[in-house]
A and B are shown apart, each in its own frame.
Chain A
Amino acid sequence: MEEFFLPGIALTILIGIAYLTGRLADAAHERALARDETLLPHQYLDSGDAVPEHVTLHDSKLVTGKVVIAEDRFRNLLARLRIFVGGRLAAHEATVTRAKRDAVLRLRTNAKGASHIIGLRFDSSELGRGMIEVIVSGTALYTDHRPTGGKPAALPDDGVNISHRNLLAELVSGSFAFLLICWAIYAASGFAIEWAADSISVEDEVAIWSELEPELIAGHRLDSERSIPERYLVDLINSIPKEAIGPAQAYDFDVLIIPDDTPNAAALPGGLILVHTGMLELVDSENELLSILGHEIGHYNGRDHLEGLGREVVGVALSAMMFQNDAVLTTWVAGWPKLLADMDYSRSQELDADNWSLKILMAKYGHVAEASRTFEKLASMQGGHSVMDYLATHPHPQDRVNRLNKMAEDQGLPIGEPVDLQTAFENYLVRSGEIPASALEDRHQYNLTNTGN
């Protein structure tokens, strides 16, 4: 959650600053233009090439006026949103109009003393992102004619060329339309991904993943050997009665322990389950540990690991298409509709996986003790419900505790004595011949997180 909100807050502050500085820069430029325009004497500006009659021409020369104006980030964001929805870019209009006014002003300053500037030609282009270049050229005519009249020749009029809209209101409406469209695309692609994930067979998945897996594991394992705790976890999974595992029994499960203090576990394609050491430290009994592993196996049954991957790919592809190389915006703005679309979907996935966890515990131990123990611990770490829960992709742990307990009660599942994790691990060590039974004298020499290697 923090990784989503912190950039958001930072971006909001930056865009807020950009909005303020942009407004100040606009106002300053506007004032400077208005002041300098009144200082210039009257001149005839003509886009035609004809030299005026009835004047004596003394001299003529080429004059140009150039200006490059950068837009603030706020207008840039606004324009991006508007381009997506389509229509008039009010944010850009003000900038391009001011750029032209300034270019004309510079042209006229360069043509000081000339009564006419004829054959005016404009050209403009985008120099870089949000930088507009305007060049105006013409021929200054120095004549005996002195133009009269209080007002200078007609200047670009902001009242006509700029759509006067409240930029903040534009930001809100633009963002809303953008979110809606992204959400619709993303939700629609979700169905396609679900279909695709269901049609990939386990064999194909394993075959594809086997190309990538060794690389991932190499960073964590020496000589691609499983560590003793990893062997224990794989042994634990293999000890579950096959029929309880469901469709996921086609996988040859592997467990990789990652040294990370956050209590977490994840299901990767190809039957590789990641378990953080923080999770191993959190659990106290083998039953509790199996409830976590059973939950991950449940994800394989739902093909959630592939769908999650697919959604990630679609999310990145969509945002890359819409924002090109704007990395911060890409990940953040496009993250919102993705989050909204993922929320419902991901929560139901988690609950389905919880169901499998309960079923697997029941099959292995004949009772469901400690099925919700980890969630209880997580709930007490996380605290009560908060506003953030509405945006979470996982249900609140306390809700899951209540749900699991109610399910066990409704189905009349028995609750027995949990198996102590330390004892279970030591038993495994002796059974598998890792250590002789006599080595267990010093009881805490071997534990899961501080391996007995």
Chain B
Amino acid sequence: MSNQATTTPQIPVVTISHIPGKEISENLGIVFGSSVRSRNFLFDIMATLKNLFGGEVRSYTRLLEDAQQEATDRLIAQSVKLNADAIVDVHFATSQVAYKAAEIFAYGTAVRLK
């Protein structure tokens, strides 16, 4: 995951419909980034125990952070393929694809700036 992050050029990724101070010249269409990940059995057991006592399940928060990072990296990688300068209107969706595995799905609109 981190490999991809370092090789991917960083472009602006925003959840609003414009890049402040810049003007959009071209709409390149929708782009996706998704990641399906799991922690290992030790974290799963710890999470089960946490479920008894309550509180933040840190191991799964970390899972979501990792997955979100990877989904964003993939979103950027796909936009770069289209020669995009920025991604606007980015949304995230999450689901449980399989028991104890999480999918984070990022989508947005790739745009070219003036």
Contact = CB atoms under 8 A, between A and B. Distances in A.
A36 to B, nearest CB: 17
Given A44-B29, A130-B98, A132-B97, A88 B90 contact: no
B82 A126 contact: no
B101 interface: yes
Interface residues of A, number: 46
A97 interface: yes
Interface stretch (A6-14, A16-24, A150-158, A293-301): A150-158
Contacts of A48: 17, 88-89, 109
Given A47-B107, A122-B105, A181-B41, A93 B98 contact: no
Interface string B92-114: 01011111110101011110000
Contacts of B89: 46-49
A201 interface: no
A126 B30 contact: no
Given A50-B17, A160-B78, A124 B29 contact: no
B99 A324 contact: yes
A45 interface: yes
The A contact surface, by secondary structure, is: mixed
Contacts of B39: 86
B73 to A, nearest CB: 9
B40 to A, nearest CB: 3
A83 B91 CA distance: 26
A320 to B, nearest CB: 13
Interface string A97-139: 1001000100000000000000011111110011010000000
A88 B36 contact: yes
Interface string B30-68: 111111111111011100000000000000000000000
Contact of B107 (A85, A120, A324): A120
A87 interface: yes
A322 interface: yes
B64 to A, nearest CB: 14
Interface residue tally on B, bucketed by range: 35 or more
Contacts of B101: 79, 82-83, 89, 92
21 contacts: A47-B88, A47-B89, A47-B90, A48-B88, A50-B17, A76-B98, A80-B98, A83-B101, A88-B35, A88-B37, A89-B37, A92-B36, A96-B34, A122-B105, A125-B96, A126-B97, A153-B29, A157-B32, A157-B78, A157-B81, A161-B78
Contacts of A93: 34-36
A45 B98 contact: no
In this complex, the member of B27, B43, B77, B100 whose beta carbon has the largest number of chain A beta carbons within 10 angstroms is B27
Given A87-B37, A154-B29, A47 B109 contact: yes
A258 to B, nearest CB: 39
Contacts of A88: 1, 35-37, 70
B11 interface: no
Nearest to B48: A321
B91 A154 contact: no
A92 B98 contact: yes
B103 to A, nearest CB: 6
Contacts of B78: 154, 157, 160-161
A387 B43 CA distance: 38
Contact of B36 (A47, A50, A89, A120): A89
A125 B95 contact: yes
Contacts of B109: 45-48
A136 B91 CA distance: 13
